[in-house]
Structure 1
Amino acid sequence: MAASPLPRWAPTPSPTRPLRTPGTPSAGAGAASSSSSSSSSWRSCVPLLTTFSSVFGSSAVRRGGGLSGGEPPPALPDAGRHDIVGGIAPLDGVVALMGPSGCGKTTLLDALAGRLSPNMKMRGDILINGLREKLSFGTSAYVTQENVLMATLTVTEAGISGGQRKRVSICVELLASPALLFLDEPTSGLDSAASYHVMSRIAGLARRDGMTVVAAVHQPSTEMFELFHGLCLLATGRTVYFGGASDAIEFFESNGFPCPLRRNPSDHFLRMINKDFEGASPIPQRQATFLTKTYARASMLMFTSTLLTMMAIGGFPSFVEDMKIFRKERMSGHYGATEFVISNTLSSIPYLGLISIIPGAIAYYLTGLQRGIDHFIYFAAVLWACTMLVEGLMMIVAAVVPDFLLGIITGSGVQGVLMLNAGFFRLPSDLPKPVWKYPTYFISYHKYATQGLYKNELLGLVFEDIGGGGLTISGEYILKNYLQISEIVKPRMLHFLCASKV
């Protein structure tokens, strides 16, 4: 039974990156041969890789060295986008993926094996014998960089070295006799002799069993390089060269980069495509200064309000003792629940006022918030109201949960849930609507406290926009568009104080 010819895995040439793919058949020939060999047995009809175009990821793109004239490849239009072009995976052979770190070797393997992470998207076609289909179970294997093994099966297996773990990982994937094998850094952790031994065995299995192997390798030795049937050189996510490994030296020499005598060809290739890497200038990044100032102020306001309210939970032990006395005196008919709540609240007002004003004044003026007694009075009033609410909350918890430890846990848990849904850690539009936004967000007193503090601080401020071009951004715009506060109205107390000053 004759095996099908090689289908296309077509690279795209570029004026600045000459590309050579010797012996590449046409797409029509690949499709025709695929259909003609569909009746053959599975082992003789080995799945082969074909065309794919682009892989989109979340990692930043860095400029690297090119090949022709030392000119680097052009920058990609979208940040985080890696354009991986294509090539041919030969039958019964080993294709080596080589390139500098971060050029996209692992991403290419993940895309071919269908193992891209959820935060990445792929665009293009991956064909198996000319058909768009997923790799079925047992037809392919993937050896990752990490050696994920059970280290506690036996004493012998637990004590193996790193190189032995790598070889065990490869052997585990070879047990199912896959028709397509992906290897990501199969020689990492191995010395040169062990690396050559492993790759020679893999190349022998590929010839004997008709297996297609695609391996990402780093700086193979000269002897190991001779084992490769195909070579794919990547730089910044682009294909610099794809073709026979034995033809790569001639390709580089024809483009003005001859390989010196007594130099490892793989070292020469990596040096040529990566020679401008050290001199590459980083992409300038700018950040709007008004965003930094805004989030710094918002963080300070949120931290101050939550810190004081969490400290107010420390009064829970006194509530437990007060509840014991209240139950005893209520049974004696001295007073009722209303009198107890009112007297307890009135007696706590002076103390809560002091712990709101004194720490609040220190934090307010040391952090450089808006000057003016009217802004500080509103700030201290909001802190005092928050501590009063926590006092009432802990009084309710003490009445429902008489146990000291369980009461502290319950009060802190309720306080934490209300704090998380105040619109600071996640903006209102990002909160899940069931439970977290409706109704928790609207019943959280932290929401109203933080929004009031935001308005007290940002209303009337004007920030310089990025670039220093004379553009300004008002605090009202930040409240509406960045903090998602729709009702931009000056707090009534602040408005009254400002009017009285006039």
Structure 2
Amino acid sequence: MEETKPKLDSPADLEALPDAHLLNEAVNSFSFEELTATVPDKASKGERRIIDNVSGIIQAGEMVALMGPSGSGKTTLLNLLARRINNVTSSGKIHVNGDELSRSTFRRISSYVEQEDHLIGSLTARETLDFSAKLALSRSISGAERRRRIDALLASFGLVGNQTTLVGTPIRRGLSGGQKRRLGVASSLITCPKILFLDEPTSGLDSVASFEVISYLKDVCKKNRLIVICSIHQPSTATFNLFDSLYLLSQGKVCYSGPVTETSAYFGGLGFEIPHFYNPAEYLLEIINVDFSQNKASATEQLQTIQSAWSSSGELKALGQSIATAKENRTEVTLEPPKTRNQMFIPLVLLHRSFVKSYRDVFAYGVRIAMYLGLAIMMGTVWLRLSTHQDSIQPFVNAIFFGSAFMSFMAVAYVPAFLEDRASFIKERNNGLYGPASFIVANFLIGIPYLFLISLLFSIVSYWLSNFYPSGTAFMYWVMWLFLDLLAAEGLVVLMSSIFPIFVVALALTAFMNGLWMSVGGFLVSPRILNVFWKYWARYIDYQAYVFQGMMVNEFSRRNYQCGSDCHCMYSTPLESQCMIDGKGVLEVYGYKTGKNGEWAGILIAIIFAYRLLAWAVLKIKKT
């Protein structure tokens, strides 16, 4: 049944976006010729074409839909057009104003909006655009100009009334799905690109919200003469009719490309009349979809007929002539020289954004602070007021192991927060905003004060309740070891989550590595008898081992213990004749020496930076 055009809840007066950074402002056309993409085919041991000889031309002010069944190649084509393909073999030519552009120039005039929003839920709509502007433009424009761009985008996408509303977190409601998608598009327009690519901009939205997003987008497109290219799955009738042109794909080949208004006449001429009161997008997808047809042979023959008709059509010939004309009338796209960006400014912006997130989003550090305080209370009450009798020596050792190993183990709680930050980084890196170095530096710096606060609060509760050596110096050494322990543990989380950015996998591997470090750290198996295979490599890079021995020396190098009324001492030390145990005798059993705090702390700092350096290398190599 034909759908009526939904009415927007609160349409805003659209404003023109600020001028782009083009000297030759007009990007009049975007054309592509004979685009082909192939991937290895294991079945045939050859290559399989997922995009097959696709050509087209799009004029400024047009909004184009790439549509087709699942697996038709529309997302691959979108990535080819956006020049973001890394894992397929591709060929063909892409022109802007009939001219081939370098990748760097093309990136400066285009922007890409991914299917997932990857917005930071603890920021407001205005803050999201403000941070995007600071990252994209650095200090190349004034604060007044940045605010002007933000105001224009908020007005253009109907977000003025929601500019102080949070995007939304799991425990705090914020923008609606349609508003989030509009905000995601607006943040990509902050640099005033002339070509905008969108991957499934209506994914996960109902028909009303989908229409809302595309309607705002079309108004911005027309008013600012943008070229907008969207991959879209199955739009409603109202949403489908908003597009100017359609590229219909199936099995990597074009079935139709041209104005949306002419689809009915074209397919009617082939014998495929679109029924009255029927969603045209749905009907077109049905007649070119082979995968779910009950009679695949008949469906395949029908699809080949449609594709053959297009390959010999007059419309395709006219398209080729338009591409040739654009090349003949080639005009150079001239950009202003890129302004020097203050690279130190970007980590500061990221640090500011992370700080806002950290105190608003309880999942970032708030939950962890509460969790560690609960752990401290549990530890302090289980190992409550241990005495200086020899019977308390082993409980002291156990408490030290618990305080060091389990604190680092619980750092796995940081995995979801880091994965959210990483998703934002990948999106922003792909749009050329900054690189992995800035991200890693900002991520490391924001954690330092919170991890120190956690170390201090945990120690204030557990250290004195358990009756460790009552000295201010000893207490601060304990805090230092715990702080370095947490820094290393968080570095391990960052590394594992960078290699495997899947929540369950990152969680499991981080837990596994912490289990390994516990096993070889010196408590469960004495370093004196540890298997040589583990002793001569794992133990030396085990940050928990250095923390454990540092805490052991901190406690037992300062204290003597009573043997009991019968003077039967568990450890033989020079104080045995006095019915006492010198704590250094306990250290000798484990093979720990005193006076090495500086060396161990230095090794821990090296491990901390090694984790971050490895994470940087992983993010540098991996593009997704």
TM-score (norm 2): 0.36
TM-score (norm 1): 0.44
The structure richer in helix per residue is 2
